[in-house]
Chain A
Amino acid sequence: MALHSTDIARFSWGALRGYPARTLLMLLAMAIGVGAVVILTALGDGARRYVLDEFAGLGTNLVIIFPGRSETTGIDPSAMMGETTRDLTLDDAKALLRSARVKRIAPINVGQVEVSHGSRSREVVVLGSNDDLLGIRHWQMGQGKFLPKMDIGRAASLVVIGKTIRDELFGAERALGEWIRLGDRRFRVIGVMGSEGRSIGVDVQETVIIPVASAQQMFNTSSLFRILVEAKNREAIEPVKQMVIDVLQKRHQGEKDVTVVTQDAVLSTFDDILGALTYAVSGIAAISLAVAGILIMNVMLVAISERTAEIGLLKALGASRGQILRLILAEATLLSALGGLCGLGLGQLGCWIIRQAFPVLPAYAPTWVIVSVFALALFTGLLFSLLPARHAARLDPVLALSGR
């Protein structure tokens, strides 16, 4: 005596349609539960991606080289001061560029100097670097061009200025092609930074950028403040870091006198924190699924006591306990599946509304969430209908049929 699955499905569907108010109520509960999980996960994941994107603004796959060692291992007093016996030089930077895993390299020098144009002047942070800095930092140009591609050992009287500097020195006048004075040297303005160029720690709009060799001349030094190395991809970060350490140690007569930091470490920490946050939020949302499950259980119990006579009748007509169990579970599964689908629709709609309201937030629910929340909805529906189904299967047909 095997019920055909099409018969089960049709019978359950009929039972659901026979009581539209109750069915709608349970669908709503399930849909809200599923929708809440989808929306909250999308929010959490969106926030995570937003922060990661912000960090990517600092540069991706970045290996940063500082002169000096961060840990004091030797007895050399200068090492204990965090200083190094040997500076980072432009030749160091050139040596690193030879690796195939390195995509770009930007040596950086920093100093402060007075900038002036006509009668206006102010103190300004000068960044000495090369053409690769723009790409490494994901900066955008406002006007003109960034530093041209040229040998990093060559000085040139070219400058790219931040927007604030441009506004303060030139006001409404045209800046491109004009000459400004940095300290006692004259530089021609070839570009203005775009307004988005703000990254953590440095306000690009308050700086001017000149070729690194010119900066070294200006500050009368041969050392560098940082070298930024961009690896070809994520997998190349660790090999590049090792390569940097090896090459510089060789060049510095076996001294490990540089500190190499990968941005990856920082990034993955944030990734972990925000990922955990997303899990937590989805976990909280999943509670609403459990609530939906309990509601389904209660409504199913009521439904069964209302349908006692029907269940008794089915028994009299030859339904075994197993068959009753399967019919009720099929009904719950059908309900959960429909409610789950409605919930996914609701969730996607919610995500869409959030994206319309906050365009910076990439609020998309990850695919694995959509799949697992649907599976969870089915599981919840099934789990919480087990009790009512068993209750129905054990109903005494005599009492059921005489229940007038």
Chain B
Amino acid sequence: MIELVNIHRDFRVGDQTVHALDDVTLTIQAGEYVSIMGPSGSGKSTLLNLLGLLDRPTAGTYHLNGQDVTSLDDLQQARVRNREIGFVFQMFHLVPRLTAAENIALPLLLAGVPAEQRIPRVEKVLEELNIADRGHHKPDQLSGGQRQRVAIARATVTEPEVLLADEPTGNLDHRSGQDVVRILEGLNKRGITLIMVTHDPEMGQRARRQLHMMDGQLAIDNGSA
């Protein structure tokens, strides 16, 4: 469960202070499917980064599964990111020199899982995402849809509770995009909390709960639990 209370995030741009997040209070239950929408600059990416512990709030508290994660140090936050949060990015962010399987194994490698234990886990997610035959390919030998599947496999290989997707279809054609969304929704049905940032209303409508951001504030929350 995610609990944000009175979260502020300010940036200084020149001599002006920009309130990227302005007093956001939000609770997301485990297993929810949430989309975050809003115009660019509305703070939706900032919110996602904050949820993913890539950014720290200026003020406010963030509890993840009952634990106050804002007060954790770098190492502890890194551990939480590794175990409990998966990221899927618009730009895929695969390491070009590593094969698909090596990319997927990265979070396990960082967690110190021995190589022989990594292999079956990587094979399992490759199977689940129907890219078992692409394991030895480098990213530049894969199509956009396949790359995003590899990215999703990497995000889920540690079996996190929360999956954060930042415009996951933004760089894909319509069919591949649909494909990726179906995969993410399938993961959500199996219990993962899916939080997706998108500016595509059609994509956003699919979520059971939709958040609209405006000027750093939650303008609409149509599925408040």
Contacts and interface: CB of A to CB of B under 8 A. Distances in A.
B49 interface: yes
A18 B139 CA distance: 13
Nearest to A8: B109
B110 A323 contact: yes
B93 A398 contact: no
Contacts of A315: 54, 78, 81
Given A316-B87, A318-B83, A320-B75, A3 B109 contact: yes
Given A315-B78, A318-B78, A318-B158, 14 more contacts: A1-B112, A2-B112, A3-B112, A4-B115, A7-B109, A309-B93, A310-B95, A315-B81, A316-B87, A317-B110, A318-B111, A323-B110, A401-B91, A401-B93
Most B CB contacts (10 A, CB to CB) among A312, A315, A320 go to A320
A398 B111 contact: no
Interface of B: 45, 49, 52, 54-55, 74-75, 78-79, 81-83, 87, 89, 91, 93, 95-98, 106-107, 109-112, 114-115, 154, 158
A37 to B, nearest CB: 33
A312 B54 CA distance: 9
Contacts of A317: 81-82, 87, 106-107, 110, 154
A397 B74 CA distance: 12
Contacts of B87: 316-317
A1 B111 contact: yes
B113 to A, nearest CB: 9
Interface of A: 1-4, 6-7, 11, 14-15, 17-18, 309-310, 312-323, 397-398, 401-402, 404
Query: What DSSP secondary structure best describes chain A's contact surface?
Result: helix
A397 B79 contact: no
A216 B45 CA distance: 109
Contacts of B106: 314, 317
B54 A397 contact: yes
A234 to B, nearest CB: 58
A291 B166 CA distance: 44
A310 B54 CA distance: 14
Contact of B89 (A1, A18, A401): A401
A11 B154 CA distance: 17
B11 to A, nearest CB: 11
A167 B131 CA distance: 94
25 contacts: A2-B112, A3-B109, A3-B110, A4-B109, A6-B115, A7-B109, A14-B97, A18-B97, A312-B93, A313-B93, A314-B106, A315-B78, A316-B54, A316-B81, A316-B93, A318-B82, A318-B83, A318-B107, A318-B110, A318-B158, A319-B110, A320-B78, A323-B110, A398-B49, A401-B91
